[in-house]
A and B are shown apart, each in its own frame.
Chain A
Amino acid sequence: MPDFSLILPHVVFHTFALLITIVSICVVAARHPVKSAVFLVVDLFLLAGLYASLDSHFVAAIQILVYAGAIVVLFLFVIMLLNLQQEQLKGIKFTVVEAGALLITLIGFLVVIFNALAGKPTGLGDGSLDVAAIEGAGGNTQVVAMKLLTDFIWPFELASMLILMAIVAAIVIAKKDKKELPAA
Chain B
Amino acid sequence: MVPIEFYFVLACVMFLIGLFGALFRRNLIMVLMSIELMLNAVNLVFVSAGRSIGNVDGQIMVLFVIVVAACEAAVGLAMVIAVFRKYGTVNTDILRLLRG
Contacts and interface: CB of A to CB of B under 8 A. Distances in A.
Nearest to B58: A56
Nearest to B34: A28
B17 to A, nearest CB: 5
A166 B75 contact: yes
Contact of B71 (A109, A130, A162, A171): A162
Contacts, number: 210
A171 to B, nearest CB: 8
Interface string B21-63: 1011111011011101100100110011111111011011011
Contact of A169 (B2, B6, B13, B75): B75
Contact of B81 (A98, A167, A174): A174
Contact of B33 (A27, A134, A147): A27
Interface string A62-74: 1100110011001
A166 B71 contact: yes
A112 B15 CA distance: 13
| Interface residue SS majority, chain B | helix
B74 interface: yes
B78 A173 contact: yes
A183 interface: no
A171 B2 CA distance: 45
Contacts of B5: 116-117, 122
Interface residues of B, number: 71
Interface string A153-173: 001000100110111011101
Given A33-B30, A147-B56, A159-B64, A21 B14 contact: yes
For chain A, the bracket of interface size reads: 35 or more
Contact of B47 (A59, A79, A109): A59
Nearest to A98: B23
Contact of A28 (B9, B25, B60): B25
Contacts of A159: 64, 67
Contact of A47 (B16, B44, B54): B44
A101 B23 contact: yes
B46 to A, nearest CB: 9
B53 A125 contact: yes
Interface of B: 1-10, 12-21, 23-27, 29-30, 32-34, 36-37, 40, 43-44, 47-54, 56-57, 59-60, 62-64, 66-75, 77-82, 84-85, 90-91, 93
